[in-house]
Amino acid sequence: MPSPIAHSVVPALGFLWLRRDLKTASFWKQTLFLVGGVALAVLPDADFLPGFVLGDPVRYHRGATHSLLVCLVAALALSPFFRAGLPEIRRGAVTVFCVFCVCSHPLLDCLAADVSEPYGIALFWPLSEKRFLSPISLFPPVHRLPGPAWTFVTSLANMANVRGWVVEVLFSATALLAGVALYRRSDRIFLLASAAGSLFCLALYWLLQMG
């Protein structure tokens, strides 16, 4: 599963998409909007919490909270809170932003290599218990040990996971620089610099993935 690093790229791109609408909002409102989008993007991983309490962090992971239906309902329920205090943003645009932030989570999880149970993502729960995993992996697997919370957390600190986080940083930088290039496409120099940076990060990402 990707870490919050990769999951944050969708709200960051959404923020760029809404940047013109947000220009009249204060810096703090813009910051809270972006931070809120990141929180939405990692919200499905709240299923770790009951597992931590019960001593088995992954017991409920990638199940109901990773269902596209549950994510959609959560996004629609929370979108009015994002709209509050930001009348300058179109209501439909805020709703789309929230839906993309939350629903991108299980889809990105499907694009990660999986080496630990439960394998795959329950995308269509409660209509189906079947778990899905893409044959193409954009992200390396997370290496962790089963067991109680402390064992689980400390096992995440290993070089394989550090390499995976670097891959996610490069993936995110590739996407964000491409988004910035599109946003500032009227400025030719900025466009070329952003596009070149995006291609450079993509090349490094590819080398690490193939290595």
Tell me the C-alpha to C-alpha distance, in Å, between residue 101 and each of 13, 94, 157, 180: 10, 11, 27, 18
Query: pLDDT digit string (tens) for 77-105?
Result: 999 988 887 877 888 899 999 999 999 99
Radius of gyration over alpha carbons of the chain, in Å?
18
Q: How far apart are CA 63 and CA 103, in angstroms?
A: 14
Phi, psi of 130 (to 5 degrees): -65, 140
Query: pLDDT digit string (tens) for 174-206?
Result: 999 999 998 888 888 888 999 999 999 999 999
